[in-house]
Amino acid sequence: MAYQDNYQKWVDFNQLPDYLRKDLEAMDEKTKEDAFYTNLEFGTAGMRGYIGAGTNRINIYVVRQATEGLAKLIETKGDEAKNRGVAIAYDSRHFSPEFAQDSARVLAEHGIKSYVFESLRPTPELSFAVRHLNAFAGIMVTASHNPAPFNGYKVYGEDGGQMPPADADALTDFIRAIDNPFAIEVADFEAAKSEGLIEIIGEAVDAEYLKEVKEVNINQDLIDKFGKDMKIVYTPLHGTGEMLARRALAQAGFQSVQVVEAQAKADPDFSTVKSPNPESQAAFALAEELGRQVDADVLVATDPDADRLGVEIRQADGSYWNLSGNQIGALIAKYILEAHKQAGTLPDNAALAKSIVSTELVTKIAESYGATMFNVLTGFKFIAEKIQEFEDTGNHTYMFGFEESFGYLIKPFVRDKDAIQAVLIVAEIAAYYRSRGLTLADGIDEIFKEYGYFAEKTVSVTLSGVDGAAEIKKIMDKFRTSAPADFNATPISLTEDFLELTAKDKDGQVTTLTTPPSNVLKYTLADDSWIAVRPSGTEPKIKFYIATVGQTLEEAETKIATIEKEINDFVG
């Protein structure tokens, strides 16, 4: 159907809420096309988009359509699945409570039970709640670290991980089969509560989650001696981390925690930051200001749904160093393995997991402790699948999993990124280096000296709308058919195509990859540097990942700058 027809269908629907009708009336032709030329798609972790009217926007009708698809999927699983129900949580964004409530109303209309949090809660707690309540699925209403105009909707499977590919594909088919989202029937919220189809949850689940969180820290004596009065600045960036992070830190014994109070209030406009993204140093401006006032050792920030963690560490000159996601991952991996080794609790079959676009520095760290590293596709659900595999077979013991995009999981009572857990372990790591008369900056320097100077950079290019989707495809096709033979005057030694599931070495020998198919290309160079290219699964972006190794950090970063320029020249 042409975008004009889709637009007219919305205009003709006489029960459209006023705010959506005003949105329609304000659209120029280009906005109409972008809002109606396609349906908002499910990607690696659900769907995410601009809030507003349209099939390519997120609104109550798109949310109802997604939930109707989920209800139909659950119905194919039988009465037990319906009775086990769905856990639902939401973050601090515009319309998040409404989207959560409408999801519960759609499910209730199908006789499917839902457990809805009384107020905003972090994504990791939603993952935990699915497992704790033995629910069949979970829904998290969030747009993660995106700016205020966005919202999103993620679906979780019964293991507490983001829905795996088979069920996600079936869910997508059910959603696409719905011709008219305006015709989806919803139950009355209060009536469904009285009938027991909607149950409100909150503090009882919080308490159970926090009970599990107690097991995240490894060396309590260390915290008691060196972490108790260590100065930590925390900011939830106007999001859900405020619900649990302070309590978790206090419970663990970190008593000198200062919170950026201006950012502790839930605010859908994220009024103190341009974007609530803990990957960005700009988001730390107020935390740095407070850090200088109190002479803080470490600054930590969680994104609005508290699944990603950003970290800044004080340097010798008093300034703060904004760490990359890979550097945080390296610090955590090294500490977990070292602490368990010192305590005599490091298992012989220790295993870590990371995405294929995350640093190989952590692989070297893992190998130095006799641990195995498993590389998986981007999307934390693939790490969750590995955890389940380890538990089912007993062949490996999970120690840590991470993605370079600031996502970390220490203990698997959650099956997604968990910034609350990550805050606790980073605080303990700071205490560990303090016990040795060192700082976290010294700790990173130690890692580089022992394992090599690794540097990484992710370049995200936003290409929205019809033309943007075509341009992303064109770029992927160009890399796939005529990629350069070298980068930084260093030949490509291995080309991996995760869509075609082929790996071709420098001699032209081809082997088969064993991951599920995914539109990712990765080029490993003769000096162990690598480049990867992939479209984002949830945003209109194409991402370029560059990773290098050098004799010094400066040399590694110079290589990155050269390769980035070559990629820009190649893409044109």
Q: Which residues are catalytic?
A: 144
H-assigned helices in 344-379: 361-368
Are the CB atoms for 332 and 400 separated by under 8 Å? yes
Amino acid 91 reads: D
CA distances from 237 to 61, 291, 313, 538 (A): 29, 15, 18, 22
Residue 378 buriedness (CB in 10 A; 0-12 / 13-18 / 19+): buried
**Cα of 372 vs its chain's centroid, Å:** 23
Query: Beta strand pairing status for 309-314 and 298-302?
Result: antiparallel
The three-state secondary structure class of 126 is helix
Q: Which residues contact 64 (CB under 8 A, 6 or more apart)?
A: 102, 103, 106, 181, 184, 186
Amino acid 277 reads: N
CA distances from 51 to 19, 70, 209, 237, 260 (A): 11, 21, 31, 20, 28
Q: Which stretch of DSSP H or E encloses residue 535? A: strand 530-535
- Please count the other Cβ atoms lying within 10 Å of the Cβ belonging to residue 73: 22
Residue 190 half-sphere exposure, CB side, CA atoms within 13 Å? 0
CA distances from 61 to 57, 93, 103, 290, 391 (A): 10, 17, 10, 42, 39
Across the strands, what pairs with 300?
234, 311
CA distances from 288 to 276, 293, 318, 320, 322 (A): 15, 9, 11, 7, 10
Residue 90 half-sphere exposure, CB side, CA atoms within 13 Å? 25
Cα–Cα distance, 267 to 276 (Å, whole number): 11
Cα–Cα distance, 28 to 26 (Å, whole number): 7
